Amino acid sequence: MHRRTALALLATTPLATAVRAQEKYPSRPITLVVAYTPGGGTDAVARVLAARLGQVLGGQIIVDNKPGAGSNLATEMVARARPDGYTLLVGNQGPMVVNPHLFPSMPADPETTLDPIALIADTTLVVVVGPRLPGVKTLAALIEDGRKRPGALTYASASNASASHLAAALLCEVAGVSARHVPYRGAAPALNDVVGGHVDFMITTVPSATGLIEGGKLTALAVTGQQRAALLPSVPTALEAGVIGYTASAWYGLLAPKGLPPDILARLESATAESLGDAQVQTRLKADGASPIAMGSAAFGAFMKRERARWGEVVRKARITVD
C-alpha cells in the first residue's frame, strides 16, 4: 500500500513532469480536421500546410474532412478531442467568428473551446459584374448605379451567410447601397448566373473568377483586400477605387482543443511559422490565391475577437440568418 502511494506521489513530482516534457512530439500521426469537402479553399490551404508542417515536425499529418452542421461539426469534433496536439483544426472566418452569431446554441463556441495557434493565410475577394451591367466598369460606377436605383441591384453569393454574402452585405452598408441578395449552393452556380445575366454582381474568391475575367465573361471592378491580388495585378483595391473603410477577405487559421500544453502550442506555433516561410509553400498558396501570414497565437487570438465583433455587426445590420 505504501509502495503504491509512493509511486502515485512520484508521478506528480517535477521529475515526472520533466520526463513527459522530454517525450518526442509528435510520436504518432496528427489529424488536421477541415470543415469542408476536399477541393475547396480551406481544404487546399490545409493540405499545403500539412505537407510542410509534417516535415518540420518530423511526423505525419493526416487531413480529415468533416463537413456538416453548418461547418460546426468539425469545430465540435476538435473541441471535444484531447488537448494533446494530435487533433488540430484549420478553420476559416465562417465557423470561427461568424457562426457564433448565427447559431446561438452551437455546441462548441470557438472562443471558449479552442486555442488559437496561428493565422495561416488569407484570400482576397474580387467584385465582379456580368452582362446585366454592361456600362459598369468601375466600383464607383456600380455604387452610383445602386444609389440611383435603391433595391434594384442584385448580388449572388456562394450560400447564405458565406464569405461572399457577408462581403457584399458589408460593401452595401459602407457604400450606402440597397441591393437584393440571391444565395446559391456554391460559387460555381452563382458565377454562372452572373455570367448568364441573371444577377448583377458578386463578390467571390479570386481563383474562382480569374478564368472568367480573363475570358471576358466578367468584369473585375476591385479586390477587397488591403493589397492587390497577385493573380489580378491590374485590378485596384476597393480603397484605390474610392471606397474608404472597406476590406474583406477569407482567412484560415490553425487551432487546437482548449488546454493545449504551452510547450506543444509553442512548438506548433514555431513550426507553422517555419512552414509558411518555405518558398514552395508560399508559391503553392499564392497559386491558390492565398497570401501566407504566419501570425502567432496571441495576435491571432486578438484578431479573432476583432473579427467576431466586426462580422457580428454585419450579421445584425443586414439581418442575416441561416434560414
Residue ranges covered by each domain of the chain: 28-123+250-318, 124-223
In this predicted structure, the answer to whether residue 263 has a pLDDT above a threshold of 60 is yes
Q: Centre a 10 Å sphere on the Cβ of residue 235 and count the other Cβ atoms it contains.
A: 22
- Write the DSSP string, 245-273: T---EEEEEEEEETT--HHHHHHHHHHHH
Give the mean pLDDT of 189-200. 95
DSSP state of 66: -
How far apart, in Å, are the Cα atoms of 47 and each of 34, 42, 85, 177, 193?
10, 9, 18, 39, 31
- Beta-strand ranges (E) seen in the chain are 30-34, 61-65, 87-92, 114-129, 153-157, 179-183, 201-205, 219-223, 249-257, 290-295
Does the fold of domain 124-223 match that of domain 28-123+250-318?
yes
Lowest mean pLDDT among 15-29, 56-70, 82-96: 15-29
In this predicted structure, the answer to whether residue 146 has a pLDDT above a threshold of 90 is yes
- What is the rounded distance in angstroms from the CA atom of residue 275 to the CA atom of residue 281? 7
pLDDT one-digit tens code per residue, 163-173 = 999 999 999 99
pLDDT of residue 289: 85
Using alpha carbons, select from 110, 122, 36 the residue that is nearest to residue 78: 110
User: Are 169 and 195 within 8 A, CB to CB?
Assistant: no
**How sure is the predictor about 160, in pLDDT bands with cuts at 50, 70 and 90?**
confident
Cell numbers of 25, please? 512530439
Mean pLDDT of the chain: 91
Lowest mean pLDDT among 96-100, 196-200, 254-258, 285-289: 285-289
In this predicted structure, the answer to whether residue 97 has a pLDDT above a threshold of 50 is yes
pTM for this model (two decimals): 0.85
**How sure is the predictor about 40, in pLDDT bands with cuts at 50, 70 and 90?**
confident
Q: At a CB cut-off of 8 Å and minimum separation 6, what does 205 contact?
A: 41, 123, 125, 126, 163, 164, 187, 250, 289
CATH superfamily, domain at 124-223:
Periplasmic binding protein-like II (3.40.190.10)
Q: What is the CATH number of domain 28-123+250-318?
A: 3.40.190.150
Give the mean pLDDT of 239-243. 94
pLDDT of residue 22: 55
Backbone angles phi, psi at 116, to 5 degrees: -70, 135
pLDDT of residue 16: 42
Q: At a CB cut-off of 8 Å and minimum separation 6, what does 195 contact?
A: 130, 131, 212, 217, 218
Q: Centre a 10 Å sphere on the Cβ of residue 213 and count the other Cβ atoms it contains.
A: 17
